[in-house]
Amino acid sequence: MTIILTSCDDDENNVNLLGGGPGSSDPNSIVAGDGFCGPQGGSQALGQASFDSGVTTAKIDTDGNPLMQGHDATWQPGTSGHVNGQPVNSAQYAYVVMSRDQMNASGVSFGDWASVTNQDSGKTVYARVEDRGPPGGTGEISQAAATSVGIQYLDNSATVGDPSVIVQAYADTAAIEGDCTAMASS
């Protein structure tokens, strides 16, 4: 079974819907359907990426999404990072997973901004670093991030095909507030 999720979860009335927003192929107007939107000041506020995965095969992280319990063999009830004191739901927030070594080497912490670009579609979405994964793991993204950039996956979290992504993370950016005004204009 293929799960294709579409919705924007910035509207509090839709918090139980699955999926992320539309993403954008314009790097100057990246849109996230993740409850975080994009960073105030856009990409200029983030500066240079302190972590760049290079082109890697996307993997889907389903942690925090109660609907995935029993479907994904590596499912966890929560994520390592938290938003407003709560673990994030993979279906509702665009986030990326980094290993402890990657975080230490790049200076990236939980809550820092990240971006995910689907090499096939050219779509990019802003995300946050909100989960820690295994050593050397690269390219693991939430369901909302995958949906936002046009990546399809099965109910066991396996991707359809071998989609290539680039994950970039920006150290010391957690304090940059989200700006949802781009959502209204896109």
98 in Cβ contact with 132 (< 8 Å): yes
Question: From CA 125, how far away is CA 114, in angstroms rounded?
Answer: 9
Q: Tell which residue, 59, 90, 7, 87, has the closest CA to residue 167.
A: 59
Nearest-5° Cα angle at 177, 172 to 182: 125
pLDDT-based confidence at 35, cuts 50/70/90?
low
How confident is the model over 58-104, as pLDDT tens digits? 999 999 999 998 888 888 888 888 887 888 899 989 999 999 999 99
Per residue in 96-121, pLDDT (tens digit) is: 999 999 999 999 999 999 999 999 99
Q: Where are the alpha helices (DSSP H) in the chain?
A: 42-46, 100-106, 143-148, 181-185
Q: How many angstroms separate the most distant Cα atoms in the chain?
A: 41
Cβ(83)–Cβ(35) below 8 Å: yes
Per-residue pLDDT band at 179 (split at 50, 70, 90): confident
pTM of the model: 0.78
